[in-house]
Amino acid sequence: MCETTPFGTLEGQDIPLIRLRKGDIQVELLPFGAAVRAIRVPDRQGRATDICLGYDRVEDYRDRDACFGGTIGRCANRIGGAAFTLDGRTFRLTANEGANQLHGGVVGFHKKLWRFTCAPGAVTFALDSPDGEEGFPGNVHAEVTYALSGDTLTVDYRAVSDADTVVNLTNHAYFNLAGHDGGPVSDHTLTVRAEAYTPAGAGNVPTGEIAPVAGTPLDLRSGAVLGDRLGDPFLAASRGYDHNYVLDRGGAPAAELWCPRTGIGLELSTSLPGMQLYTAGFLTERTGKSGAVYGPGHAVCLEPQFFPDAVNHANFPSPVLRAGAEYRQTIRYRFFVR
């Protein structure tokens, strides 16, 4: 079973910290945001290393930006113009990033208190999002289950709605495989198995084009040291990587991240069609766990999801969830040392 200890209080309600353990791996979760607060894995010397950025106070998860470790919804990433049309009806959403909506609106799923139940080696969080919340249609019931088995953390998403709507869930963990306090990730090596990406225009909203990564610094198919790419002029506007990849299909892992300082590696697999790669170029300096100072470029976010603004592009895989249908998607993180 999972372990719980007190973490904080919000609006008079106690917020526990939930721990899953399997061998040398430990995962800490919070019901606020159904968030990953910490992942501890052994480095090449066998030392437990926390590889996720996070906070020591639940108030920081509520009040700060960046979405550390949170479950993102009802729709991850951007919806251009904070609006979409579904079956001839236009829905106006709350805009929280200029004219666009980002990560579900002003109070997205990562800012909600989820219910939870424990099972051996797993915890399931549940949330009910009412019709009209942040402008989205339909009463949506969402669940996210974290299960730790062997060297792998599996995240399973499920959602149902009583009306046609948009659902696009992901996790926004900030990984630093040198340790959450390890500073810049420029020495990390990253491989992304994707031949294409979705170019974006103003506000980092996709234009609708699907373009090859070949010949650009987005080509990570053979792996690259991040520091060799981050200064490329192609990435200047996004202060590094902040791009959606069209993942190759066929069963191979979507991405692999590895840190030479610790030897810790992370292999990511997913059922989702895209992955937003973000190297935290817009992360403002702040104090995190145990007084660690986090800043720009101190983490890598690997966010599997439907493409940004997919509901407004018929050529993108559709994030529309029809009434009575079931949304099911999975992310797997396998940890290793070499």
The pLDDT tens digits of the residues spanning 86-136 come to: 999 999 999 999 999 999 999 999 999 999 999 999 999 999 999 999 999
Query: Which entry of 103, 110, 172, 188 is annotated as an active-site residue?
Result: 172
Give the pLDDT of residue 205: 97
What count of residues does the chain have?
A: 338
Give the mean model confidence (pLDDT) for residues 203-221.
Answer: 97
Active site residue 243: no
User: Does 305 reside within a domain?
Assistant: yes
Predicted TM-score (pTM) of this structure: 0.97
Active site residue 298: no
* Backbone dihedral angles phi then psi of residue 182, each to the nearest 5 degrees: -85, 0
Q: How many domains does the chain fold into?
A: 1
- Sign of the Cα torsion 175, 179, 183, 188 reads negative
pLDDT tens for 168-183 read 999 999 999 999 999 9
Structure tokens at 17: 């910290």
User: Does 246 reside within a domain?
Assistant: no
pLDDT at 15 over 80: yes
Give the pLDDT of residue 252: 84
Give the pLDDT of residue 1: 63
User: Does 214 reside within a domain?
Assistant: no
Using DSSP, state whether 10 is helix, strand or coil. Answer: strand
Give the pLDDT of residue 250: 81
Query: Which entry of 134, 143, 256, 303 is annotated as an active-site residue?
Result: 303
Give the pLDDT of residue 64: 95
User: Does 120 reside within a domain?
Assistant: yes
Side-chain-side CA neighbours of 200 within 13 Å: the count stands at: 22
User: Does 230 reside within a domain?
Assistant: no
Percentage of residues of the chain with pLDDT beyond 70: 100
pLDDT tens for 289-337 read 999 999 999 999 999 999 999 999 999 999 999 999 999 999 999 999 9
Amino acid residing at 111: K
Residue with tokens 């993180």: 333
* Backbone dihedral angles phi then psi of residue 59, each to the nearest 5 degrees: -60, -30
* Backbone dihedral angles phi then psi of residue 331, each to the nearest 5 degrees: -125, 135
Give the mean model confidence (pLDDT) for residues 210-233.
Answer: 98
User: Does 232 reside within a domain?
Assistant: no
pLDDT tens for 234-247 read 999 999 999 999 99
User: Does 190 reside within a domain?
Assistant: no
For residues 56-74, one letter each, b for 16 or more C-beta atoms within 10 angstroms of the residue's C-beta and e for the rest, the string is eebebbbeeebbbbbbbbb
User: Does 42 reside within a domain?
Assistant: yes
Query: What does pLDDT average to over the chain?
Result: 97
Report the CATH number at residue 286: 2.70.98.10
Domain extent, residue 181, equals 3-185+280-337
pLDDT tens for 37-85 read 999 999 999 999 999 999 999 999 999 999 999 999 999 999 999 999 9
Give the pLDDT of residue 145: 98
Amino acid residing at 292: A
